[in-house]
Amino acid sequence: MESVKVFEDAAATLEEKCSNLILSNKDIKRVSTILLKEIEIGLCKETNKIADIKCYPTYVRNLPNGKEKGKFLALDLGGTNFRVLLIQLGEATPEKEFASREFPLPDLIRNSSGEVLFDHIAECLALFVKEFKVDKEILPLGFTFSFPCRQEGLTKAKLVQWTKGFTCSGVVGHDVADLLQKAIHKRDDVNIKIMAVLNDTTGTLMSSAYKQPDCKIGLIIGTGTNACYVEKVENMELWDGESDNSNQCIVNTEWGAFGDSGSLEFIRTNFDRALDSTTPNCGKQLYEKMISGKYLGEIVRRVLVYLAKEGLIFNNSSYVRLLEADTFKTKLLSEIEEKPENDLSDCKRILEELGITNFSQEDCAKVRYVCQLVSKRAAFMVAAGVATLINKINEKHTVVAVDGTLYRKHPHFRHLMAQKIKQLIRPGLTFELMLSEDGSGRGAALVAAVADRMDREETNRN
Ligand code: BGC
C-alpha cells in the first residue's frame, strides 16, 4: 500500500510508528498462498486433525424447488444480538417475510451456562410465536448457530469451541440442536421442530444461491468472520454423506482460525498480540481478530493509547476513558471514515463523547488516519481470503454472497475489498460481491423448508 503523507513533522513519526499496520501487496499475496495451503490441509482426511482451517462439510445440499409451503421459523444466534424470523412460502408467495425480531443477548447470558443460554432463547422464541399468533401451529425451524461445529447430519452439530467472546459452560462437545430442542420441550408451551442447524455463512450462501445459481461463496464480516464455499465432492476427502447428481458440497472453512499455529506472525503486530491476550479464547481465531467487528475498535483504541503515550497525539488532552478496554467500538470506525477527508466533524463529536478534552484538529486527523489503516488492513485480509476461494473454485464468474454488520455499515470496506480481490484473482476470472441482507436467517428458514418438504415426500412414499 502506498504511504500517503498526511501530517507534517511529528506526524512523520506517527506514520512510522503505525507502519506495521500497512500490508504490502507482497504480504497480501503471501497471506493468500498460505491460506490456500491451509485449506488443502483442512480438506485432506490425513492432515485435518492438525489443520487450523477445519473445512467442515455441511449437510446442506438441496435448494428449494418451489414446492415448499407453509410458515417457517429461523433463529439466528452468533453475535451480540440474536434474531427470530418467520417466513411464509407458498405458490403465490415465493418468499415472504412475515415477521422478525431482534433480541439482545447480554454479556451475563453470553458468559453463563448453556442451560441459561438455551432457556433464554426458548423463552424469546415462545414470546415471538405467541406475539405473532402462530403458537398453536407446528413450526419447522432452521437454527443458524454461528460458531465452529462438527456436523454429523443436518440436525446434529457439536460445538467445537466458542468464539467472539461467548463462554457458556456445558456446550462445547454437545449437540446444540439437542440443547435447544430440550429447552423448548421443557417449556411445553410451543410446538417448534428443529429441522436444520447451519452456520451463518451457509445460510447466506443458500439464500442467495436460491436466486443466483452462480453464487458459490458465502461470506460473513460481522462480529466474527468466516466463509463457506461450494467444493467438488472429489476434493473433499472428509465428505461422508450421500452423493447425489450434483457431486458438490458446501464446505464451512472456519477461516477465522487461520494463523492459530503461527502462519500469520509475519504480519501480526504487538497491538494484535496485546488484544489477543485479553480475550477468553487467547491464541485462537487470530485471522478473525485482525478483521472482524468484535475487535477492530479495540485495535484502534490500543494504537491511539500507544501513540498518546509516545507523545504523538492528544498532547494537551486528558484521555482517561480511552485507557479502558472496549471503549472505542468498531461502529466508530465507520462513523469517522464516512465523511470526506476534510470534514472531521464526526470525529470531533466522537472524541468529545469519549470524554477526551482539549484535542486539536490535527488530533482528529490522526484518529481518522489510524481508523483508516486498521479498516484497510482488515479489508485487504478478507480480500486475500476471498480471492483464494475464487481462484480455488476457478469458474469463469463467481458470485460472493456477503453479510455482516461491519461490511454493511462501513463506508469503504466493500470498495477496498473489491479492488484488492481484482488484483489477486487469476486473469480471466470475474466476480461479484452481492449483499445478502439477513441472508443467514432467511437461508436457515429456507433450509428448514426444504428439509420439511423432503420429510413429507418421504412419508408420502411410505
Ligand atoms: C465463527 C463462525 C462464524 C463467524 C461469523 C466466527 O467466530 O467461528 O462459525 O461463521 O464467526 O459469524
- Per-residue pLDDT reduced to its tens digit, 401-411: 999 999 999 99
List pLDDT tens digits, range 95-152: 666 799 999 999 999 999 999 999 999 999 999 999 999 999 999 999 999 999 999 9
Atom of ligand 1 nearest to the CA of 78: 12
218: Cβ below 6 Å to ligand 1?
no
Decide if 338 is inside a domain.
Answer: yes
Q: Let me know whether 23 and 134 are in one domain.
A: no
| Rounded CA separation 409/450 (Å) | 32
For atom 11 of ligand 1, which residue has the closest CA? 224
Decide if 443 is inside a domain.
Answer: no
pLDDT above 50 (res 1): no
Decide if 453 is inside a domain.
Answer: no
Report whether 179 contacts 169 (CB < 8 A): no
pLDDT computed for residue 413 by the predictor: 98
Largest CA distance in the chain: 81
| Rounded CA separation 71/68 (Å) | 9
Q: Let me know whether 69 and 24 are in one domain.
A: no
Domain count, the chain: 2
pLDDT above 90 (res 63): no
Q: What's the alpha-carbon Rg for the chain, to the nearest Å?
A: 23
Q: Which of these three, 156, 176, 198, is where a domain ends?
A: 198
How many alpha carbons fall within 13 Å on the CB side of residue 130?
Answer: 8
What are the cell numbers at 306? 500507544
- In whole angstroms, how far apart are CA 355 and each of 10, 277, 347, 350, 454? 24, 27, 13, 9, 58
Q: Which of these three, 198, 225, 248, is where a domain ends?
A: 198
| Rounded CA separation 6/56 (Å) | 45
Instruction: Measure 257 CA to ligand 1 centroid, in angstroms.
Output: 10
| Rounded CA separation 422/438 (Å) | 26
Q: Let me know whether 254 and 362 are in one domain.
A: yes
Q: Let me know whether 49 and 175 are in one domain.
A: no
Range of the domain at 164: 59-198
Q: Let me know whether 360 and 270 are in one domain.
A: yes
Given the C-alpha cell 436467517, which residue does it identify?
441
pLDDT computed for residue 64 by the predictor: 76
pLDDT computed for residue 3 by the predictor: 45
List pLDDT tens digits, range 356-397: 999 999 999 999 999 999 999 999 999 999 999 999 999 999
Mean pLDDT of 213-232: 95
pLDDT above 80 (res 244): no
pLDDT computed for residue 364 by the predictor: 96
Q: Let me know whether 271 and 402 are in one domain.
A: yes
Mean pLDDT of 302-315: 96
pLDDT above 60 (res 94): no
Instruction: Measure 374 CA to ligand 1 centroid, in angstroms.
Output: 20
Report whether 336 contacts 368 (CB < 8 A): yes
pLDDT computed for residue 26 by the predictor: 98
Q: Let me know whether 26 and 65 are in one domain.
A: no
Q: Let me know whether 1 and 141 are in one domain.
A: no
Instruction: Measure 67 CA to ligand 1 centroid, in angstroms.
Output: 31
Decide if 379 is inside a domain.
Answer: yes
pLDDT computed for residue 2 by the predictor: 45
Q: Let me know whether 176 and 289 are in one domain.
A: no
Q: Let me know whether 326 and 395 are in one domain.
A: yes
Atom of ligand 1 nearest to the CA of 224: 11
Mean pLDDT of 257-272: 98
| Rounded CA separation 449/69 (Å) | 8
Q: Let me know whether 257 and 187 are in one domain.
A: no
- Give residue 448's identity as a one-letter amino acid code: A
Q: Is the Cα dihedral 250, 255, 256, 257 positive or negative?
A: positive
Query: In terms of C-beta density within 10 A (0-12 exposed, 13-18 middle, 19 or more buried), how is residue 335 classed?
Result: middle
Decide if 287 is inside a domain.
Answer: yes
pTM exceeds 0.85 for this model: yes
Decide if 458 is inside a domain.
Answer: no
For atom 3 of ligand 1, which residue has the closest CA? 146
Decide if 366 is inside a domain.
Answer: yes
- Whole-number percent of the chain with pLDDT over 70: 95
CATH value at residue 122: 3.30.420.40
Query: What mean pLDDT value characterizes the chain?
Result: 92
Decide if 417 is inside a domain.
Answer: yes
164: Cβ below 6 Å to ligand 1?
yes
Q: Which of these three, 163, 198, 233, is where a domain ends?
A: 198
Q: Let me know whether 419 and 409 are in one domain.
A: yes
List pLDDT tens digits, range 176-198: 999 999 999 999 898 999 999 99
pLDDT above 60 (res 6): no
Pocket test for ligand 1, best of 199, 253, 287 (most atoms within 8 A of CB): 199
For atom 7 of ligand 1, which residue has the closest CA? 224
pLDDT above 80 (res 243): no
| Rounded CA separation 314/319 (Å) | 8
Active site residue ranges: 83, 146, 200
200: Cβ below 6 Å to ligand 1?
yes
pLDDT above 50 (res 327): yes
